[in-house]
Amino acid sequence: MEQPSSQTKLKSELGLLDGTMLVAGSMIGSGIFIVSADIIRNVGSSGWLIAVWLITGFMTLTAAVSYGELSAMFPKAGGQYVYLKEAYNKFVAFLYGWSFFAVIQTGTIAAVGVAFSKFAAYLIPAVSEENILLSIPFGGMFTLTISAAQVVSILIIILLTYINTKGVKGGKLIQTTFTLTKLISLFGLIAFGFIMLKGDVWTANWTNAWDMRGLAKDGSLTSYTMAAALGAIAASMVGSIFSSDAWNNVTFIAGEMKNPQRNIGLSLFLGTLIVTVIYVSANVMYTAVLPLNEIASAEKDRVAVAASTVIFGNIGTVVIALMIMVSTFGCNNGLILAGARVYYTMAKDGLFFKKTGTLNENAVPEFGLWIQCAVASVLCLSGRYGDLLDMISFVVVLFYMLTIAGIYILRIKRPDAPRPYKAFGYPVLPAIYIIMGLAFCGLLLRYKSDYTWPGLIIVLIGIPIYFISQRNVKHEDTVLSDH
């Protein structure tokens, strides 16, 4: 008897450990090893460095426990996209899905892939971004250069996409193994850092720890007005929020979770809590071994490399390179695995390419995986992925706020709907997140507009695309009804 070439239903093969590892693994990429340099340049003190990470951690945990209610109400593939559709309408959900496909998920995959290559170059210089393999001029307007690092990053993305087309089990194994490895490695790095604590460095860093000022790479200081200080905190949080993002990826795979009503919410809480503890501890460790000016002026912002060199000597560079390679490989696996489930659900709603709504013989959305791979690869080649990521924190927080506001809307619209889990701290904690998110977005709009308008433009491009797609759907329905 001939075997069917495709499946019609996602398989429930992921447990609580898998979900928690997906949350933690998708969050921890290369950010924690790098972005603290820019944060210190913005705030100029140990106290405010830790405060930025604590504020971000509080916002992330609050959002995660709030999403628990939504994940229990709608335990199906697509996660955040589904919550926005149920609370608002298809249009709002599409704008999120479009932004997710155009830059949020694909741009993150590209950036994490290139971070893998950059640190692999410590061990294999031939794959460095300085090794230009091809240079293509475009009529004197610009020249497209392709480096070995970009090629390696694309190959890694293709490899992980291929593995994930073979079923969720392979992706699950990679995710759990690599995430556990990087968690143990990070805890080890932090522990050795505190063992090597330098008393004079610690004392100097924590004297006047709450004096906020700009700290340039050359060590010069700039005083802030109150308004400028708020702008500096918002600019600092761009890096910490990017480093803490992607925690919601576990909601996208709800269709493949065992007991999703319980396990999605628990995975969100446990994963974000573990990562928040690691991030705050790592930054306290940085201040224990490196003077602030060395954090601010770390070569290519690689703070973890500078700290590891102090802790382990010359071999420290290799230690961090290996850690980041493990970290980014596992991170990208989680991003690739989860992302395609959003496009799958959008296609089922008639809001994405029809073929994306089909499953292959391994019960995974293969077409969605490959188009995600194609866009991420183009972003790798563009060389603009870093700029894009700087600009998406605004958009990411905007959609998080809309989703959390959806809890209030659904409590009114569907008061009798089953809620196996209710948002912790409701209505206070979700409201605090929304207020903090509004403050963050408002400060960025006011003081760091470079970080906001490009991201908003990407969202707005989705508006005409939505109406064109809906017009085409109506046209197809009319043709079918005529026949």
Spatial CA neighbour of 394 closest among 357, 443, 435:
443
Model confidence pLDDT, tens digit, residues 343-366: 999 999 989 988 999 999 999 999
Q: What local confidence, expressed as pLDDT, does residue 385 receive?
A: 64
100 and 78 Cβ atoms separated by less than 8 Å? no
How far apart are alpha carbons 483 and 463 in whole angstroms?
31
Using CA atoms, how far residue 380 sits from 109, 155, 325, 377, in Å, is: 9, 11, 17, 5
pLDDT in the model for residue 156: 96
* C-alpha of 31 from chain center: 10
Residue 327: name the closest of 273, 275, 378 by CA.
275
pTM, two decimals, is 0.89
Q: What is the chain's Cα-based Rg?
A: 22
3-state secondary structure string across 374-404: HHHHHHHHHCCHHHHHHHHHHHHHHHHHHHH
pLDDT at 469: 82
User: What is the residue-wise DSSP string for 229-256?
Assistant: HHHHHHHHHHHHHHHHTTTTHHHHTGGG
Q: State CA 430 to chain mean position distance.
A: 21
* 3-state secondary structure string across 304-373: HHHHHHHHHHHHHHHHHHHHHHHHHHHHHHHHHHHHHHHHHHHHHCCCCCHHHHCCCCCCCCHHHHHHHH
Strands, E, within 95-215: which ranges?
132-138, 142-147, 213-215
Planar angle of CA 284, 289, 294, nearest 5 degrees = 100
| Contact criterion met (CB below 8 Å) for 211 and 44 | yes
Q: What pLDDT score does 18 carry?
A: 92
Element (H, E) at 139: none
Query: By CB neighbour count within 10 A (0-12 exposed, 13-18 middle, 19+ buried), where does 382 fall?
Result: middle
Angle subtended at Cα 78 by Cα 386 and Cα 105, rounded to the nearest 5 degrees:
5
Distance CA 34, CA 283 (A): 11
4 CB-near residues (< 8 Å, 6+ apart): 361
What is the Cα–Cα distance from 67 to 95, expressed in whole angstroms? 19
Residues 289 and 307: beta-carbon distance below 8 Å: yes
Task: Tell me the angle at which helices 303-312 and 260-289 cross, rounded to the nearest 10 degrees.
Answer: 60
Which pLDDT value is given to residue 77?
81
Q: What is the DSSP string of 144-166?
A: EEEEHHHHHHHHHHHHHHHHHHT
Contacts of 356-361 with C-beta under 8 Å, sequence gap 24+, read 358/6, 359/6, 359/7, 359/8, 359/9, 359/10, 360/5, 360/6, 360/7, 360/165, 361/3, 361/4, 361/5, 361/6, 361/7
Which residue numbers in the chain have pLDDT < 50?
1-4, 479-480
> Letter for the amino acid at 125?
P
- Give residue 94's region: left, alpha or beta (phi > 0; psi -120 to 50): alpha
Q: What residues have CB less than 8 Å from 449, skipping those under 6 apart?
A: none
